[in-house]
Amino acid sequence: MTTLDASRALTPQAYMQGLSRWQPIEIIFWLATLLPFWLFPTYLSLASQIAITALFALSLDLILGYAGIVSLGHAAFFGFGAYSAGIFSKFAWSEPISGLIAAALLTGLLGYASSFIISRFRHLTLIMITLGLGLLLKEAANSAHWLTGGSDGLQGVSIAPVFGLFKFDLYGRTAYGYSLGVLFIVFLFARRLINSPFGLALRGIRENFVRMPAIGADSRAHIRKVYTISAIVAGIAGALLAQTTQTVALEVLSFERSADVVVMLVLGGAGRLYGGLIGAAVYMIARDQFSGIAPQYWYFWIGALLVMVVTLLPNGILGGLSKLLKRWSRR
């Protein structure tokens, strides 16, 4: 944003074009996501979990990082998507991609309905509302034993091979390939969104909520829209989990899941598109390693990591990296 010398000669149009141009580092990042297939073939299940969680974090980034809407109940949409996909496969058919789309649409409806409440509130009230809605949905799923299996989890989910070719295997090859593919496609959509006029309006809401009406903007309509989109993305992430693990536990709707995803986003750097992806990877790998060392106390280390990152790197890992890069390039 402050590359003054390079941009001074640019026309405003070329400058705006430049903001959405693919950077080499981005291409390297996406190529690197393919490495686990060769480097860590025994960790592909974890890689698949990371891709799914990254997608979930991306959905939160759209509302929290870009529009400044804090949610402590985002697992509601993740879990709703997971149950939708699981139940769909049980009672309709087992083809995964149509199941994914069905889950996305259903979650979108739930997101759209709740967006009317969400868009009316801000700050602490909003946090409490999202928290409340999350708890509400979890108990609803718990009590609807006949449909969800309650605390026993949803059993009997079976998913047909992707494109009729790739069977979900024990090693998670298909799971990772499928999750990564969906993550990439949704990421492309999110990337376009944040570089769109709508994305600019979201940043406007985040930067100054009071000014928005004074430039003629209907912030509530914008918030309803992005909240619905975010719910859809979270629903897709949940559906991926249900499909790749072929089961749904009540945990998908838990408060911990809502809180964890906020932590990941803050770790990685909110409002940076890649922040959620990096945060999810760091968090999941740290959890995997720490729980190997001390299975009962791994949250201790997550806590330590969180405190360290937010005190030393207020804009997350990515914020810290970009600051370092700037300092380095100035030399």
Partner 1 sequence: MSAVALSARGLQKSFGSLAVARDINIDLPVGARYALIGPNGAGKTTLINLMTGLLTPNAGQITLGGEDVTALRPQARVKRGLARTFQINTLFAGLNPLEAVTLAVCERRGIADRFWQNIAGNKDAIEEAYGILARLKLGDACYQTTRELPYGRQRLLEIALALATKPKVLLLDEPAAGVPVEESGEIFEVVASLSDELTLLFIEHDMHVVFRFATHIIVLVGGAIFTQGSPAEIAADPGVREVYLGTRKHG
Does the protein bind partner 1 through residue 198 (CB under 8 A)? yes
Does the protein bind partner 1 through residue 19 (CB under 8 A)? yes
Q: SS3 of 181, please? A: helix
Instruction: Say how many CA atoms lie within 13 Å of 83 toward its Cβ.
Output: 27
What does the radius of gyration of the chain's CA atoms come to, in whole angstroms? 20
| C-beta closer to partner 1: residue 90 or 206 | 206
Q: Please state at what angle helix 75-91 crosses helix 123-143, rounded to 10 degrees.
A: 30
Q: Number of residues interacting with partner 1: please give it, by CB under 8 A.
A: 40
Does the protein bind partner 1 through residue 7 (CB under 8 A)? yes
Q: Which stretch binds partner 1 (CB under 8 A): 1-9, 142-150, 164-172, 315-323?
A: 1-9
| C-beta closer to partner 1: residue 122 or 206 | 206
| Residues in 229-258 at the binding interface with partner 1, rule: CB under 8 A | 229
Residues 6+ apart with CB under 8 A from 207: none
* 127, burial (CB in 10 Å: exposed 0-12, middle 13-18, buried 19+): middle
Taking CB under 8 A as the criterion, the residue among 173, 222, 272, 287 binding partner 1 is 222
Q: Which stretch binds partner 1 (CB under 8 A): 12-20, 35-43, 144-152, 277-285?
A: 12-20
- Closest CB 228 distance from partner 1, rounded Å: 11
* Interface mask toward partner 1 for 199-218; x: CB under 8 A: xxx-xx-xxx-xxxxxxxxx
* Interface mask toward partner 1 for 143-182; x: CB under 8 A: ----------------------------------------
Could you tell me how many helices (H) and strands (E) the chain has, helices first?
Answer: 17, 0
* Cα dist from 222 to 40, 184, 194, 234, whole Å: 42, 25, 13, 18
* Cα dist from 13 to 20, 24, 198, 324, whole Å: 12, 22, 17, 29
| C-beta closer to partner 1: residue 68 or 73 | 68
Does the protein bind partner 1 through residue 192 (CB under 8 A)? yes
Taking CB under 8 A as the criterion, the residue among 15, 30, 121, 301 binding partner 1 is 15
The DSSP-derived string for 94-118 is --HHHHHHHHHHHHHHHHHHHHHHH
Does the protein bind partner 1 through residue 221 (CB under 8 A)? yes
Distance CA 275, CA 279 (A): 6
Distance CA 42, CA 244 (A): 16
Taking CB under 8 A as the criterion, the residue among 109, 127, 193, 321 binding partner 1 is 193
Distance CA 10, CA 181 (A): 36
Q: Which stretch binds partner 1 (CB under 8 A): 78-86, 172-180, 195-203, 289-297?
A: 195-203
Task: Give the footprint of partner 1 on this chain (CB under 8 A).
Answer: 1-4, 7-8, 12-13, 15-17, 19-20, 192-193, 195-201, 203-204, 206-208, 210-218, 221-222, 225, 229
